[in-house]
Amino acid sequence: MDRKNVTSVTEFILLGLSTQLKTQTALFGVFLICYLITLLGNFLIVLLSKVDPRLDTPMYFFLSNLSFLDICYTSSIIPKMLVNFLAKRKSISFPGCAAQMFIHLALGGTECYLLMVMAYDRYVAICSPLHYTNIMNKSVCIQLATGSWLGGILNSMVHTVLALQLPYCGPNVINHFFCEVPAVIELACKDISTNKTVIFMCAIVVVMIPFFLILITYIRILSAILKIRSAEGRKKAFSTCASHLIVVTLFYGTIIFMYMRPGSSTHSDQDKMSTLFYSVVTPMLNPIIYSLRNKDVKEALIKLMMNKASAQ
């Protein structure tokens, strides 16, 4: 039987971010802190949006979806990273690698769509304020959020199925800190040009189209804001969009660099840093960006802390 038609690999070895023991120990501490901050910050936003009536709006419904997504997003990567920092053998089973590929890609695609939906929500709020409650009713919000999740899952299924159909007969060393699809398929003992083409084409649908729609949306939002006569009104309108713009810039900037390169075949340290930024750093910064710039979130947090203190 032809060896190249058989998958003989049962596990993969992850090279990670460093091979130096002292550096790995330091990285363990850094990423543990990042993970705890991510969990705490995003959990607080989910909690506040549920317990505070003032945050029962479409904007915070989508923000709580984003926070829940970011909790899952980082949890698909960081726990295994932390184990590998301290382990002598930095391995992951073939099924575990497949699961990590699917979950990470599904959540990443969902975030692309969800950020686009959040931009549309701000567009309706600023450009059609009188019709906002009718357009962005609860049913529509649920449908938009559900569509974002389904879109991300469908995209991930395509890539994961194609990746798993490839034969892996060795070597089994992944030059990455987790099982990301482009890094894994490089180890296949078969031509992967089709997979690369599919990755690039799907990136256009999942990444570039939402990104350009967000740009068009904010151009129209900016045009509407400039027409507001009151300086205070313009400031208030822009403040509701500023946090989202920062998050979009951070997330899309690095993910476009990673996935919109059809000729790329190597995974350098620069690629690892790019992936690290949108997979770990951005989910940690999201709740900080939204809470520090958002008066309602800060007031809701203060109210929750005061209620906890009075209950004791």
pTM of the model: 0.87
State how many domains the chain has.
Answer: 1
Is residue 185 domain-resident? Answer: yes
Sign of CA dihedral 107, 108, 113, 114: positive
Is residue 198 domain-resident? Answer: yes
Is residue 245 domain-resident? Answer: yes
Residue 170 to residue 71: CA distance in whole angstroms: 33
For residue 287, give Cα distances in angstroms to 71, 224, 232, 260: 11, 27, 25, 27
Is residue 186 domain-resident? Answer: yes
Report pLDDT for 242.
78
Report pLDDT for 2.
45
Largest CA distance in the chain: 76
Is residue 285 domain-resident? Answer: yes
Report pLDDT for 308.
67
CATH code (residue 286) = 1.20.1070.10
| Rg over CA atoms, the chain | 21
Is residue 257 domain-resident? Answer: yes
Edge-to-edge, what's the strand order for the sheet holding 91-93? 91-93, 11-14, 173-174
Is residue 294 domain-resident? Answer: yes
Q: Which domain holds residue 208?
A: 19-311
Q: Give, as one character, the DSSP assignment of residue 244.
A: H
Residue labelled with tokens 């039987």: 1
pLDDT in tens, the chain (312 residues): 344 456 678 889 998 887 787 888 899 999 999 999 999 999 988 988 888 888 888 988 999 999 999 999 999 999 999 999 888 888 899 999 999 999 999 999 999 999 999 999 999 988 888 899 999 999 999 999 999 999 999 999 999 999 999 999 878 898 888 998 988 998 998 889 899 899 889 989 999 999 999 999 988 988 888 887 777 777 777 777 777 788 888 888 878 777 666 554 445 667 788 888 888 888 998 888 877 667 777 777 777 777 766 666
Q: In this structure, what token pair is assigned to residue 183?
A: 């890094």
Q: Which amino acid is at 278?
A: Y
Specify the DSSP element, H or E, that contains 242.
helix 231-259
Report pLDDT for 312.
61
For the chain, helix, strand, coil in percent to 5 are: 75, 5, 20
Q: Give, as one character, the DSSP assignment of residue 64.
A: H
Is residue 9 domain-resident? Answer: no
